[in-house]
Amino acid sequence: MKKVTLNNGIEIPILGFGVYQIPKEETEQAVIDAIKAGYRHIDTAQSYLNEAEVGQGIKNSSVAREELFITTKIWVENASYDGVMESFQGSLNRLGLEYVDLLLIHQPYNDVYGAWRAMEELQKAGKIRAIGISNFAVDRAIDLAEFNEITPTVNQIEINPFQQQTEAIEALKAEGIQPEAWAPFAEGKNGIFTNEVLTSIGKKYNKSVAQVIVRWLVENNIVVLAKSTKPERMAENIDVFDFQLSEEDKKAIATLNVGESQFFSHADPAMIKWMASRRIEL
């Protein structure tokens, strides 16, 4: 598995397995199957409400903890100094782990600066190997980096053929912040799996549309999070290191960019209010 070196020297597998929206009752087995398929990078969050099941999957897998890279995220209501200190221990307890490899602030709301100071302290205490952010606009990411001791290692954002975020990715990389893609398949929206450009590229290499998308992101040195509960799809999504896209392929994929989220805007006041009002029972 190819790895990317973060700005603090920690290595992260470029392909990760995400568990967002996987039902609790399926999560443990999905994690076991993903690790069996070759994934060593598992991504969860407080708000996914399946950290405990992820922890059971890790425990019941055949791979040692030190060979795995585990990410979780601090939800909005816990994004403060005290909120991180209190809720992160709960995350560790649910995961059954003594440390996580990467902790992210899930959304750019609430007291993110207080949250960041707590995360810096937890990293120095050995509870976290790397700290980062998720869904931060570039200006917010750079602001956090410039006015704190530790620069975020990662910004996990929506990146897919319809929302390519080329300028944001370049700006993040220039700051030393590793882009990480959630929803690389746009959750199947806009007929992505039958898109003529992507299917035609796939036929050239005898690969699926999903494999073409993952390969496109890998070649752009972007960490990719893919999700499936089907072992055969897990194996397929990770089998992307035996072909290479041509410049013609990349230009064709570039034409698919519509430059807007396939889900919602993080600058939408209504969405901010909804997230602020959402309370999760951990």
* Parent domain of 103: 3-277
Q: What letter would DSSP give residue 120? A: H
Task: Decide if 257 is inside a domain.
Answer: yes
Residue 28 CA to residue 94 CA, distance in Å, equals: 13
CATH number, domain containing residue 13 = 3.20.20.100
The answer to whether position 282 is within a domain reads: no
Query: Which residues are CB-contacts of 113 (< 8 A; sequence separation ≥ 6)?
Result: 144, 147, 148
Query: Within a 13 Å sphere around the CA of 199, how many CA atoms are in the beta-carbon half?
Result: 6
Active site residues: 48
pTM exceeding 0.85: yes
The answer as to whether 233 is a domain residue is: yes
Long-range contact pairs involving 232-235 (C-beta distance under 8 Å, separation at least 24): 234/17, 234/33, 234/34, 234/37, 234/39, 235/37, 235/38
CB 234 within 8 A of CB 206: no
Residues in contact with 173: Cβ distance below 8 Å, sequence separation at least 6, in sequence order:
179, 221
- Interatomic CA distance for residues 43 and 69, integer angstroms: 8
pLDDT in tens, the chain (282 residues): 899 999 999 999 999 999 999 999 999 999 999 999 999 999 999 999 999 999 999 999 989 999 999 999 999 999 999 999 999 999 999 999 999 999 999 999 999 999 999 999 999 999 999 999 999 999 999 999 999 999 999 999 999 999 999 999 999 999 999 999 999 999 888 999 999 999 999 999 999 999 999 999 999 999 999 999 999 999 999 999 999 999 999 999 999 999 888 888 888 899 889 888 888 877
Could you give the number of structural domains in the chain? 1
